[in-house]
Structure 1
Amino acid sequence: MIVITTPTGDIGSQVLDTLLRDTNGEELRVIVRDPDRLPASVRERADVVVGSHGDAAVVDRAFTGADAVFWVVPPDPGTASLDAAFSGFTRAAAQTFADHGVGHVVGVSALGRGTPVAERAGLVTASLAMDDLIAETGAAYRALANPSFMDNLLRQVDAIREKGVFTGTVEPDRKAPSAATRDIAAVAAKLLLDRSWTGIGAVPVLGPEDLSANDMARIVSAVLGRPVRYERQRLDELGGTLSGYGLGDAFVHGMVDMMRAKDEGLDAGVPRTPDTATPTTFTRWCEEVLKPAVLA
């Protein structure tokens, strides 16, 4: 049995869709706060455990009889600390992995381990500490080491449509990897289905190319057939914007520290190889995902 957390999330929903197509008869179970958000077809085919996967009683029920777990920590903008948001949220599940002898866990994490800035990278630092916690449980563990998501640009669809601009804090010509969430989900599903792997390790998911923000602006412009530019935002401006949305101080500082670390090379520590590259180019993602959203 495979257990999927965050089955209505950006990545979790795509992992679930893939597993529903390709399980070869393997049982699926999902943990979800609001089962009404699941399509009827999912509720018919998967066992549903209602509640938070940060709750010890919920994960005790969900992981009973589980062979593998897809683990994602949901964002907690109001958290008192990043340790509480990541390792604190995961602690009950980690104990349950050990108690129930869960053999394999695949988790969504981040690039950066081993880089000079990894210890001051905010959300990423906390995510890497969560990986260490899971690694101590005795389960075989693969941390999906992700760069920034192409799909994050969907948060700026209105600005792209109405103003021809998207913003970020990285230096405009700094090239870095990015990945489509559908590729991350595909890597996760493959690991969950083929559990021949053992031990502890990271699986970098780097996309097919490194691009700068200016490169992305040129591609978006070409795909949309209209000029779109990148506008750099200061880190203090980012912090002020997030605080204005009501996000808590710990989360805001964690986001700012992460973005500062990305501009200092956080995502540059892993070389791209056939094993770490994923297929969706930014151009293809813009054509198939961003453009329909902008035109909607």
Structure 2
Amino acid sequence: MIVRDPARLPEPVRERAEVVTGSHGDAEVVHRAFEGADAVFWLVPPDSSLAPEDAYRGFTRPAAKALAAHGVGHVVGISALGRSTPVAGRAGLVTASLDMDDLIADTGVAYRALANPSFFENLLEEADAIREKGVFTDAVAADRRAPLVAVADIAAVAAGLLLDRSWTGNGSVPVLGPRDLSPNDLARIMTEQLGRPVRYERQPLDDLHATLVGYGLDEAFVQGIVDMKRAKDDGLDAGVARTPDTASPTTFEQWCAETLKPAVLS
């Protein structure tokens, strides 16, 4: 396990894991960590100080070299939906994530990219606005339905793949949640679960860009976010059908009750 600060790990985790201190974007660190490894779970941390290409493919390049050098057999990575859609090449951060998948696959490892839509957990960034104003924002149309997923469900799929490594070759594993939801659907469910009115406000992309640049984020990274939001409104997450194999169990109602409600009402 690679971590920057081992002291932040819960004690039971430290007792069960071999910890390598540092960044998994550092060549020396990943070479040390991957030595003797049979499988790797790969998750790129968000870095708003870099352009999307550098934040994903550039960050992963040392790991790709280490995977090949140490003969790691299997890799499970966190990625995104959209590869089969017409907007995949102009989807900002998602395009960069898909390019990262190609880099890992080209090493010769057996690779599974977990193809995820937006997360329920993104709404935790809106907890203060929901509490104080009864409002949450995004940049997509209010009635556009799309898959959303709980991160715990993604973790469960990843764990299953890492424990049973009978799979070979390269491919994607969509994790789509139990049903598609629109921002208006989310507002209705949050109103029911929180016991207070919640409404959705659509934020223009130009306003989103100006706000994020004002926070000091790298302008190319901000453009990557804006392009991703635009692509999602153009159907980026709509290219994969939900089946028993691609659905995941946690409902938005359940997630609101267990996670969002305590955050909003605390």
> Is 1:43 the equivalent of 2:14?
yes
- Give the equivalent residue in structure 2 for 1:111: 81
Q: Figure out how many residues of one structure are paired with residues of the other and give that number.
A: 266
- Relative to the length of structure 2, the TM-score reads 0.99
Could you tell me how far 1:44 is from its partner in structure 2?
Answer: 1.5
Alignment partners' CA distance in 2, 1:38 and 1:140? 29
Residue identity opposite 2:17 in structure 1: A
Could you tell me how far 1:246 is from its partner in structure 2?
Answer: 1.0
- Give the equivalent residue in structure 2 for 1:93: 63
Alignment partners' CA distance in 2, 1:41 and 1:186? 19
Deviations 1:94-128 (A, max 9, x none): 01111111000000000000200000000000000
Matches within 5 A, 1:245-256: 245-256=215-226
- Give the equivalent residue in structure 2 for 1:200: 170
Deviations 1:30-88 (A, max 9, x none): 10111111112211211100001011110011001101100011111011x22111111
- Give the equivalent residue in structure 2 for 1:181: 151
Classify the secondary structure of the residue corresponding to 2:19: strand
Alignment partners' CA distance in 2, 1:282 and 1:152? 12
Alignment partners' CA distance in 1, 2:223 and 2:177? 27
- Give the equivalent residue in structure 2 for 1:15: none
Alignment partners' CA distance in 2, 1:73 and 1:224? 33
> Is 1:242 the equivalent of 2:217?
no
Residue identity opposite 2:230 in structure 1: R
Matches within 5 A, 1:23-62: 30-62=1-33
Alignment partner for residue 237 of structure 2, among 242, 246, 267? 267
The gaps in structure 2 that reach 5 residues or longer are: none
Residue identity opposite 2:252 in structure 1: F
- Relative to the length of structure 1, the TM-score reads 0.89
- Give the equivalent residue in structure 2 for 1:26: none
Matches within 5 A, 1:1-296: 30-79=1-50, 81-296=51-266
Residue identity opposite 1:158 in structure 2: D
Residue identity opposite 2:202 in structure 1: R
Alignment partners' CA distance in 2, 1:248 and 1:84? 12
Quote the RMSD (CA, aligned, Å).
Answer: 0.6
Alignment partners' CA distance in 1, 2:37 and 2:71? 8
Alignment partners' CA distance in 1, 2:57 and 2:66? 14
Could you tell me how far 1:138 is from its partner in structure 2?
Answer: 1.0
Residue identity opposite 2:7 in structure 1: D
After the TM superposition, which segments of 4 or more aligned residues of structure 1 sit over 6 Å from their partners? Answer: none
Alignment partners' CA distance in 2, 1:82 and 1:212? 27
Alignment partners' CA distance in 2, 1:179 and 1:264? 19
Classify the secondary structure of the residue corresponding to 1:47: coil
Classify the secondary structure of the residue corresponding to 2:178: coil
Alignment partners' CA distance in 2, 1:65 and 1:215? 48
Alignment partners' CA distance in 1, 2:170 and 2:262? 39
Classify the secondary structure of the residue corresponding to 2:84: coil
Alignment partners' CA distance in 2, 1:283 and 1:40? 32
Alignment partners' CA distance in 1, 2:54 and 2:261? 38
